[in-house]
Amino acid sequence: MKLPTITTAVATTAAVTLLCSAVSANADQRIATFDLGSLDTLDALGLSEQVVGVPKASLPTYLDQYAEETYTDIGGLRSPDMDAISESEPSLILYTGRQGDWETELGEIAPCLIPACKVTII
């Protein structure tokens, strides 16, 4: 099984290769994320300036800096605030299966990515 790899280059680009897909986040990319694992990774890579929106009510305490006014509250994990997401003008939306019912609407705002693979165990 191929493990995820992460590469960075002078904090201007972060490329994340997952088991099933890849995405690059350039220094000017604006990211709204419902995926708290991805938020943790962006934070660890020093890419917090690219984050524009998070589900503030669901933030764990170690990511509470994202509760500041700098970041837009994009709604709950099960009830995205489409107006708030749109107003934050993201160029990429990271979401999870919990927001799957809103995939079409989210995709009308910005390109979307679920940063995990669906695995079926038989």
Report d(CA 80, CA 82) in Å as an integer: 6
What domains does the chain contain, in order, with CATH numbers? 27-113 (3.40.50.1980)
Residue 89: predicted pLDDT? 95
Diameter over CA atoms, the chain: 45
Q: Does the structure show a pLDDT above 90 at 68?
A: yes
Residue 117: predicted pLDDT? 56
**CA-closest candidate to residue 95, choices 40, 50, 37, 45:** 37
Average pLDDT, the chain: 79
Rg of the chain over Cα atoms, rounded to whole angstroms, equals: 14
Distance of CA 44 to the CA centre of its chain: 13
Residue 65: predicted pLDDT? 96
Residue 39: predicted pLDDT? 92
Q: Does the structure show a pLDDT above 70 at 75?
A: yes
Residue 101: predicted pLDDT? 72
Q: Could you give the count of Cα atoms lying within 13 Å of 11 in the half-sphere of its Cβ? A: 9
